[in-house]
Structure 1
Amino acid sequence: MASRLQQSTLKLVNLARTQGLQTALQHATNAIAWHVVPSRREFARNLVQESELARKFDQLHGVDTAGESPLTDVGVPPEKAARGNGLYRGIWPRLFHAALRESRLPLERFTFVDYGSGKGKALMLASAYAFRRIVGMEFAPGLHEVAVRNLRGYRSPQQRCFTMDAVCADALDWEPPAEPLLCFFFNPFDDPTMERVITRVARSWRHAPRDIYLLYVNVRDVREQARVFERHSALTLVGRSRHSLLTKVTAGR
């Protein structure tokens, strides 16, 4: 215990020297939160089980989605990695399916768009539903390349949507398709980036009014970023649970 404490202290001191005191304090606060915040402690416990389920998913379907990858290791510049919360992790299927069930939307009317689609896990899970089509948008070139391979080889007896595309683009530049959309967000951005992405989606609605829903999922608790959605003037809250938040675009700005 003393050795781990000493190592952690040295790491924080080095972080303060190289990246500044504010960064070091933020790192320390986050580290403490994993031990004292109930939602994060529960997440840490579930992560082991979900990681094993992810490996089994990959073996069953012949794809590569399991594990975690720092964004700086998959082609994202360090100064932009924080915009994407710094890390790739695939969505947990049980939370994904629960979020779609809770939405109670007629999914066959919508194009599913995954913002920050990573290796394409949510795209493959979404193909079990009768969406009009499925689109994944990913900023990291390394993740996008894996997603393209995954979608090319993915097969499932539960698959109902077979039109799936992966796009390598920046969410702040990418134009949403002018059709009814279910925009999916698996905790992909920091608050300022999420705010700008929502504004861009709302602007798309203003130019081409149609049904656009935003579905935000967080494996710990949506309270971590719910305020960004709930305070945005272009959105109306439709439903909320611990792990998912559904809003609808009702105004443009």
Structure 2
Amino acid sequence: MYMGVVESVFLSACGELPDEIIKTYEFVDIGSGKGRGLILAHECGFSTITGYEHSVYLNRIARDNLRRLNIEGVTIHECDIRMASYTANNKVIFAYNPFNEALFRCFLLGLATHIINNAIGAYFIYVNPLHEDMLASFGFSKIVEHRSDSNCSYVIYGINIS
């Protein structure tokens, strides 16, 4: 079932990051849906913004929403996340519980391998973190934990950061 991220939750989570991270890291929305996370990332000041979404329908809506708001320079990849390729930039990864457990594990394996092989740093913002225990098993360390009702809880993990 599709659910867009709650704006206040997104802004609260991004507010936990240092300004320098927002200015210099690539924002990556995993399961970017209709583009709300991409739009909010733009409003927060991320300069490089990328979304990954499997649904042709949701990608079309996201592109229309970005165009309607005159937001340019956002890259949206329409793909199966297991086959995704990433840039070698430091990243802030955002996920609003986009996958079931098996797909999340496969995604994390590819992502962690990419991060380690490219010696980059990453923050992982995970909203409604149903499978967060997997992050530690792939080398991520918990930095922030905010618990409330299920759609507003988030955790932030980091890997290769100082």
Residue 143 of structure 2: aligned partner: 238
C-alpha distance in structure 1 between counterparts of 2:106 and 2:25, whole Å: 23
The whole-number CA distance in structure 1 between the counterparts of 2:68 and 2:26 is: 21
Is 2:100 the counterpart of 1:195? Answer: no
User: Which of the pair has more CA radius of gyration?
Assistant: 1
Cα distance in structure 1, aligned partners of 2:72 and 2:78: 20
1:248 to partner: Cα distance: 1.5
Secondary structure of the residue aligned to 1:117 is: coil
Q: CA deviation at 1:237?
A: 1.6
Return the structure number with greater helix share.
1
| Matched-pair contact (CA < 8 Å) for 1:214–1:247 | yes
Task: Output one character per residue of 1:59-115: Cα deviation in whole Å (capped at 9) or x when no partner.
Answer: xxxxxxxxxxxxxxxxxxxxxxxxxxxx11111101110111123462101110000
Q: Which amino acid aligns with 1:134?
A: I
Whether the aligned pair in 2 keeps the contact of 1:123 and 1:134 (CA below 8 Å) is yes
Q: Which residue of 2 aligns with 1:167?
A: 77
Aligned equivalents of 1:170 and 1:116: distance in 2? Answer: 10
Aligned residue pairs: how many? 154
CA offset at residue 162 of structure 1? Answer: 4.6
Structure 1 residues 3-82: aligned runs within 5 Å = none
The higher-RCO structure (CA 8 Å, 6+ apart) is: 2
More strand by share: 2
Contact 2:88/2:118 (<8 A) preserved: yes
Runs of 4+ in 1 over 6 A off after TM superposition: none
- Which residue is equivalent to 2:65? 150
Cα deviations across residues 138-164 of structure 1 (Å, max 9, x unaligned)? 001111111111111114xxxxx8521
2:150 paired residue number: none
Question: Runs of 5+ in structure 1 lacking a partner?
Answer: 1-86, 156-160
List runs of 5+ in structure 2 lacking aligned partners: 148-152
CA distance in 1 between partners of 2:118 and 2:51 (Å): 21
How far apart are residue 249 of structure 1 and its match? 2.3
1:89 matched to 2:7? The reply is no
Tell me how far apart the structure 2 counterparts of residues 228 and 234 of structure 1 sit (CA, whole Å): 9
Question: Could you tell me how far apart the structure 2 residues matched to 1:162 and 1:140 are?
Answer: 21
Q: Could you tell me which residue of structure 2 aligns to residue 63 of structure 1?
A: none
Structure 2 CA distance for aligned equivalents of residues 126 and 205 of structure 1: 21
RMSD: 1.6
Aligned pair 1:209/2:123, yes or no? no
